[in-house]
Structure 1
Amino acid sequence: MDSDAISFVSLGMLVLDELHLPSGRVLRDGIGGSGAWSMLGARIATGPRDAKQVGSFIVAGHDFPESAAQAIRELGVTLEMVVDPTRESTRGKLVYHDEAFNNKTFNYLTTPLQPTPAQLPRNLLAAKAFHMLLPPEAVMIQVPELLRRRKEAGIGALPLLVWEPLPWKCTPENMEAHKAACKLVTVFSPNHLELLGLYGIAKTNSTEESIRQSPEDRVESQQTVIERCAAELLGGVAADGWQGMLVVRAAEMGCFAKSASGLSRSFRPYHKDQKIVVDATGAGNAFLGALAVSLVAAAQKNPGRATQQQAVVMMVAVPANGDAIQISDAIVRASVVASFVIEQIGLPCRTSVEGANGEEQWNGDTFRARYERMADVTSGGLLSS
């Protein structure tokens, strides 16, 4: 990658979490929020050598702890902060209600400080890819604002835009708003519950369960319904000329990707044994950060296209055989990154192995080792490394 350019920035929030464990123990000032998790996902996928190409943008209050800022600096990313001395930092309370960490509730303890394109410094404004967790009406405001600011700054190339919807906004009455916002981004990525919510379909949390739909009262497997709804949603948006990609994150079922130009494929998760899963908090955000930087890296291998950003958009919109393989490869890389996030509460443990060929480890394993295992299983070794 170009060592002088920022590859990825999230417009999500960094939240200082107050974690209440089932044992009664309380952990304070934990790093969380979609901005932090997606940044971490991009950083794991990028690796230590190119860590500076991952941007971390934080809108903080007067009470933002130096320990949290230092933890992010230690990752080697490009950290930029805007501090509002009149406000408290974004803080949340995450309560785990059972020993399996499946039942949890979250609420904000302070008024959230949501980053906007207007606050981005120029080095981050010029990033090749952005992640956002927003309701559709905010996408309709922030994407044009981002593009306008880039144009004013002399940045003419199109960025890769990855949009993750807000869960509570994914209802049938908001379907048209989501379709309209889709047309402004490159990748739309709801999880399977959010996708089903847009269609008003009963939600289940088990792969083994079936879904009963009305008015036909038809019973289908959850995976079948997910793929059918994804095809219907993509068809509705693509009919109006959208050339992007839909990536449905589906927990233990893996994910399903479908593009307007014909790519349609399911991907297994890295961990098939659900006993390994401790806490899935942040896994979806990390997946999308890794997906974004992996698509950018793949696009940079495509000579002859006007810009790296435009190459990403073209790769998603017009997947020739080689491009389809590269998109699949990016999704495999993102799935590997998510595997590190779900193995513990909070951030995965990062260590470095000494020696000439030493590699960065997360939870005692390397990204490359897991990638090679999963790429071999997924494609028989056909994916590029």
Structure 2
Amino acid sequence: MDLTANSQISFLSLGLVVLDEIRLPGQEPLDNVLGGSGAYATLGARLFSPVPASQSLGLLLRVGGDFPESTMGTLERWDVRLFMDKESEKRSTRGLLEYQDTTFGPKTFKYTTNPLHVSVRRLETTPLITSKAFHFLESPQAITDRVPELLASRTTSSFKREPALIIWEPAPLFCKAENLTPCVQVLHKGTVDVFSPNHIELASLFGEDSTCDKAKIESLARRVLDSCTRLHPGAKMTKLPTIVIRAGEHGCLICDHDLKSTWLPPFYESGPEGGHNPRVVDPTGAGNAFLGGYAVGYLTTGDHIEAACYGTVAASFALEQVGVPVLVAGRDGETWNGERVLGRLEGYRRRVGIARNEPNVVD
């Protein structure tokens, strides 16, 4: 679909769209499963943006000549502003996801082709550059260049622009102790609004093993913010980021610049006696979907706690199957996996005791 100068874009992920091969012991491999942070973050935003608001979401695809028509059909059914660069002589970004058992628990991932990254420069002549919110999954070294490049491109763009919400999901492979200082240096610059590792990645940044202790997770999140203010004593900071820790079965933590911390429970609690909840099939992509939902939630409400409610519900739909949930559009509106998204959101908000503010579709 061509983009025009009058397009209004609310959300764009600069993450990858990946074709996954999924292997489980004793089962036939699943091939060409739609995945990647870009696809799942877009899904999270799309859940809360039914047609025609779906057209406020951008998706920039960079694919090879082997990109399946069936996968393209899935993306087209989302009815987002799809913009594609097809390089027929290359292979699409592909990955191998191997699980150690049939419960979709411990897993390994590796790319099996050279990833086709989306270039910020590619956005410059399109309305995608004017998006109200951007999602990145990057190393601290890459984000150091990518965000300033984006902001500079927005300054020189001929399209109408507003300040953007910048969400940074640190790339898991780079969440190591030697990268804690580079992460803090990025956050100190004030160009990132939301910093969101999961609890395992957060612990890894401090050189610690994964922790299931909520008090410990909260302490580490506060240390990130404290480190931002202590990096250059006396230097004036324009703003501190909001820290959002996605903690899986423990829910999520929101820690803001005033050092106020709020925990929200996961949508799906553990099963009887702490066992596995049968509704949770595969966690792949749930964290990315959380951040897409979070972005739309924040644009809608202007509140980070409310945004995390949106994110939690978005993640719940990603958990229910291998791959992406099923969209059905009918006379009475859309359902995903047979349920209405806003109905699930309102149920969750009642459960956590958050007063109802009528959710408005992002326009």
Q: TM > 0.5 between the two?
A: yes
By how many angstroms is 1:39 displaced?
A: 0.5
Match in the other structure for 2:273: none
**Cα shift readout 1:217-269 (whole Å, capped 9, x = no counterpart):** xxxxx111000010111122145623221100000010000111344211111
SS in 1 for 2:8: coil
Match in the other structure for 1:270: 267
One of 263, 268, 288 as aligned partner of 1:285: 288
Q: Unpaired runs of 5+ in structure 1?
A: 208-221, 300-325
How far apart, CA to CA, are the structure 2 residues paired with 1:23 and 1:110? 25
**Cα shift readout 1:170-205 (whole Å, capped 9, x = no counterpart):** 11211110011223211000000111111111224x
Q: Tell me if structure 2 keeps the 8 A contact 1:238–1:260.
A: no
Q: Tell me if structure 2 keeps the 8 A contact 1:245–1:260.
A: yes
Does 1:165 pair with 2:165? no
One of 286, 296, 314 as aligned partner of 2:299: 296
Does 1:345 pair with 2:322? yes
By how many angstroms is 1:332 displaced?
A: 0.5
Match in the other structure for 1:315: none
Aligned CA RMSD, in angstroms, stands at: 1.7
Does 1:199 pair with 2:203? no
How far apart, CA to CA, are the structure 2 residues paired with 1:126 and 1:381? 32
For 1:33-48, list aligned pairs within 5 A. Answer: 33-48=36-51
Does 1:109 pair with 2:112? yes
One of 98, 102, 112 as aligned partner of 1:99: 102
**Cα shift readout 1:269-291 (whole Å, capped 9, x = no counterpart):** 11113412111000000000111
How far apart, CA to CA, are the structure 1 residues paired with 2:259 and 2:115? 39
Match in the other structure for 1:372: 346
Match in the other structure for 1:181: 186
Does 1:327 pair with 2:301? no
SS in 2 for 1:281: coil
How far apart, CA to CA, are the structure 2 residues paired with 1:86 and 1:349? 32
How far apart, CA to CA, are the structure 1 residues paired with 2:260 and 2:222? 11
For 1:350-361, list aligned pairs within 5 A. Answer: 350-354=327-331, 358-361=332-335
Match in the other structure for 2:241: 244
- Normalized against structure 2, the TM-score is what? 0.88
How many correspondences in the alignment? 338
How far apart, CA to CA, are the structure 2 residues paired with 1:142 and 1:236? 22
For 1:128-143, list aligned pairs within 5 A. Answer: 128-143=132-147
| Change over 3 Å in CA distance of 1:145–1:75 after alignment to 2 | same
How far apart, CA to CA, are the structure 1 residues paired with 2:176 and 2:45? 29
Match in the other structure for 2:197: 190
Segment drifting more, 282-291 vs 46-55: 46-55
- Normalized against structure 1, the TM-score is what? 0.84
- Structure 2: which amino acid aligns with 1:89? S
Seq. identity, %: 37
One of 326, 333, 337 as aligned partner of 1:363: 337
- Structure 2: which amino acid aligns with 1:55? G
How far apart, CA to CA, are the structure 2 residues paired with 1:110 and 1:380? 45
Match in the other structure for 2:63: 60
